[in-house]
C-alpha cells in the first residue's frame, strides 16, 4: 500500500515535471522566432568580389555617422595562410568576421604580430570611424573624411582605439570578397548575439574582368588562393578565377532565392552595381532602409559629387574610391575589351549573366553601338528578399 502510494507520487511528480518542461519548450517556441536577437545593433556584411564596385558601396556606408566600417578585415587571414584554399579559409574568415562584428579586436592577435598602431589594420583609412572621435580627433563624426588626410594624421593612434571606436556605434558594416558560399554564414545568421544582414553586390562580369586587368599584380596572390595553388601566384589569363566568382554568385543567389531557410528571410538583399550608378539615390535609399539608416542632406550632396566627378583614368591606386562619373565608367569595358575577350567571359560566366540580367553581346557592331544597353532593367527582377515581401 505504502509502496503503491510512493510509486503514485513518483509518477505524478514525473507528469508534473514533464508538463512544466513541455510548457517551457512550447513558450520558448512561440515567444522566440528563429531570428530573435538579443542586440539592438545592426551587423551588415557586404559580400562581393574583387573589382565589383564594393569599395564605392563600402564608402556609402562608411561615411554615415552611425556606421563603424571596415573594408576586408579578413585580408589578414588570407595573407597569413595563403597556401590554403578559399574553402579551407572560409571558417577562419567567418570567425574573424563574427568577432569584429562584436567589436572584439583581439581576434587580430593571430594575424597581426605587433598590434601597436591603427595603421597596422588593412585599409584602415577608408573607415570614417577610424578617422574621427574616439579613434582620432582630426575629424568630427559627421564629417565626410578624406583618406589621404586621415592616413597622415590618424595612423599613429593606438590599435586599441579600433575596439573603443567600434563600441560607440549602432551599425557595424564589413565588406568582404572572401566568401564564396552563403551557407558558411548560416551560423552567424542564427547567432543571437548578432543581428546580421547581408548585401550581395554583383557587377557585370565583363566590367569586372576589364577592371581586374588594370590591377593584375594586386590580385595574383588572391587568385592563387581561389584556385588552390598552394601559395603560387597566378594571373587569371584563362578566366579561371572569373569562373569561380561567377559560380559563387549563382550559388549565393540561388540559395537565397530558392532554397533559403527561414532565418534568411528579410536578411538578404541582392544589389547590382549598375543599378546603383544609374540611380544612386534610389538604390542607396533602399540599402539604407534595409538596415534602418537615414540619408542625411550632407550625404546626399556628397553622393551626388562622387557620382558626377572627374573622368576615369584619374585613379592611381587600385583600391581608391575617387570622384568620377560612375555611370559612364560602368560602361567603359565595352571600349577597352576586345570582342574575343568579351566572348570568352560570356562563355565562362553564362549562368551568372543569365541569372543577374546581363545580356550577351553577339558581335562587334553591338559592342560599339552605345545606344544598345546590355543590362536588363532592374524591375524585371525580384532581387531583394525584404520583410514586406515576406509570405507567412
Ligand atoms: C584630401 O586631402 C588632400 C590633402 O589635403 C587633398 O590633396 C585631396 O584633394 C583631398 N581629397 C579629396 C577627395 O577631397
Ligand atoms: C606607430 O606610429 C608611430 C608614429 O607614426 C611610429 O613612430 C611607430 O613606428 C609606429 N609603430 C609601429 C609598430 O608601426
Ligand atoms: C606547398 O608548398 C610548400 C612550400 O612551398 C611545400 O613545402 C609543400 O610541400 C607544398 N604542398 C603541396 C601539397 O604541394
Ligand atoms: C559637393 O560639391 C559642392 C561643389 O563643389 C560643394 O560645395 C559641396 O560642399 C560638396 N558636398 C560635400 C558634402 O562634399
Ligand atoms: C564617357 O564620357 C566621355 C565624355 O563625356 C565619352 O567620350 C565616352 O564615350 C563616355 N564613355 C562611355 C562608355 O559612355
Phi-psi region of 292 (alpha: psi -120 to 50; beta: other; left: phi over 0): left
> pLDDT-derived band of residue 16, with 50, 70 and 90 as boundaries?
low
Tell me how far apart the alpha carbons of residues 308 and 302 are, in angstroms, rounded to a whole number.
10
Of the ligands numbered here, which is closest to the C-alpha atom of 230? 3
Distance CA 377, CA 356 (A): 10
Mean pLDDT of all residues in 63-85? 95
Integer-rounded Cα Rg, in Å, for the chain is: 24
CA 198 to chain centroid, in Å, comes to 7
Q: What is the pLDDT of residues 319-366, one digit of tens each?
A: 334 445 666 677 889 999 999 999 999 999 999 999 999 999 999 999
Q: Whose CA is nearest to atom 10 of ligand 5?
A: 328
Question: Nearest ligand, CA of residue 298?
Answer: 4
Q: How far is the CA of 77 from the centre of ligand 3 (A)?
A: 19
Residue in 257, 287, 293 with CA at minimum distance from that of residue 275: 287
Nearest CA to ligand 3 atom 1: 230
Establish whether residue 116 lines the binding site of ligand 2, counting it when its CB lies within 6 angstroms of any ligand atom.
Answer: yes
User: How many whole angstroms from 55 Cα to the centroid of ligand 4?
Assistant: 21
- Per residue in 238-253, pLDDT (tens digit) is 999 999 999 999 999 9
Cell, residue 71: 573594408
Cα(112)–Cα(81) distance, rounded to whole angstroms? 12
CB burial of 206-239 (b: ≥16 within 10 Å; e: otherwise) equals bbbbbbbbeeeeebebbbbbbbeeeeeebebeeb
Looking from the CA of residue 116, the nearest atom of ligand 2 is 13
In angstroms, rounded to a whole number, what is the distance separating the alpha carbons of residues 24 and 9? 22
pLDDT for residue 392? 32
112 Cβ below 6 A of ligand 5: no
Per residue in 75-111, pLDDT (tens digit) is: 999 999 999 999 999 999 999 999 999 999 999 999 9
Percent of all residues in the chain with a pLDDT value above 70, rounded to a whole number: 82
Residue 259: partners with Cβ closer than 8 Å, 6 or more residues away: none
Q: Which atom of ligand 2 is nearest to the CA of 156?
A: 2
Which superfamily, per CATH, for 42-103+167-312+319-324? P-loop containing nucleotide triphosphate hydrolases (3.40.50.300)
Contact status, residue 266 vs residue 386, Cβ threshold 8 Å: yes
Q: Are 172 and 68 in contact (CB under 8 A)?
A: yes
Which residues on neighbouring strands pair with residue 200, listed in sequence order? Answer: 47, 270
Taking residue 77's Cβ as centre, other Cβ atoms within 10 Å add up to: 25
Amino acid at each position: 500500500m505504502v509502496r503503491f502510494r510512493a510509486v503514485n507520487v513518483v509518477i505524478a511528480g514525473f507528469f508534473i515535471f514533464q508538463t512544466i518542461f513541455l510548457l517551457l519548450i512550447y513558450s520558448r517556441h512561440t515567444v522566440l522566432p528563429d531570428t530573435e536577437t538579443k542586440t539592438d545593433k545592426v551587423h551588415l556584411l557586404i559580400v562581393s568580389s574583387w573589382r565589383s564596385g564594393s569599395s564605392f558601396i563600402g564608402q556609402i556606408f562608411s561615411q554615415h555617422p552611425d556606421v563603424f566600417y571596415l573594408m576586408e578585415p579578413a585580408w589578414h587571414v588570407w595573407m597569413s595562410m595563403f597556401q590554403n584554399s578559399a574553402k579551407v579559409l572560409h571558417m577562419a574568415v567567418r570567425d574573424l568576421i563574427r568577432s569584429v562584428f562584436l567589436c572584439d579586436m583581439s581576434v587580430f592577435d593571430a594575424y597581426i604580430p605587433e598590434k601597436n598602431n591603427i595603421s597596422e589594420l588593412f585599409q584602415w583609412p577608408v573607415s570614417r570611424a577610424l578617422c574621427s572621435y574616439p579613434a582620432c580627433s582630426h575629424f568630427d563624426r559627421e564629417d565626410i573624411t578624406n583618406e589621404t588626410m586621415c592616413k597622415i594624421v590618424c595612423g599613429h593612434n593606438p590599435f586599441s582605439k579600433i575596439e573603443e571606436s567600434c563600441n560607440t556605434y549602432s551599425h557595424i558594416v564589413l565588406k568582404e570578397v572572401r566568401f564564396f558560399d552563403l551557407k558558411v554564414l548560416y551560423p552567424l545568421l542564427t547567432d543571437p548575439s548578432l543581428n546580421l544582414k547581408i548585401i550581395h553586390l554583383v557587377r557585370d562580369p565583363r566590367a569586372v574582368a576589364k577592371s581586374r586587368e588594370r590591377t593584375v599584380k594586386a590580385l595574383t596572390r588572391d587568385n592563387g588562393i581561389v584556385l588552390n595553388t598552394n601559395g603560387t601566384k597566378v594571373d587569371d589569363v584563362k578566366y579561371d578565377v572569373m569562373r569561380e566568382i561567377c559560380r559563387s554568385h549563382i550559388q549565393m543567389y540561388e540559395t537565397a532565392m530558392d532554397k533559403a531557410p527561414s532565418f534568411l528571410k528579410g536578411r538578404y538583399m541582392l544589389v547590382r552595381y549598375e543599378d546603383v550608378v544609374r540611380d544612386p539615390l534610389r538604390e542607396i535609399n533602399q540599402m539604407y532602409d534595409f538596415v534602418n539608416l537615414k540619408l542625411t542632406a550632407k550625404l546626399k550632396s556628397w553622393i551626388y559629387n562622387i557620382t558626377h566627378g572627374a573622368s576615369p583614368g584619374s585613379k592611381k591606386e587600385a583600391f581608391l574610391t575617387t570622384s568620377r562619373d560612375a555611370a559612364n565608367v560602368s560602361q567603359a569595358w565595352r571600349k577597352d575589351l576586345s570582342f574575343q575577350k568579351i566572348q570568352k567571359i560570356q562563355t565562362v560566366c553564362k549562368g551568372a549573366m543569365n541569372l543577374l540580367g546581363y545580356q550577351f553581346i553577339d558581335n562587334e557592331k553591338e559592342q560599339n553601338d552605345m545606344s544598345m544597353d546590355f543590362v536588363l532593367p532592374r524591375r524585371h527582377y525580384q532581387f531583394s528578399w525584404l520583410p514586406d515581401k515576406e509570405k507567412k
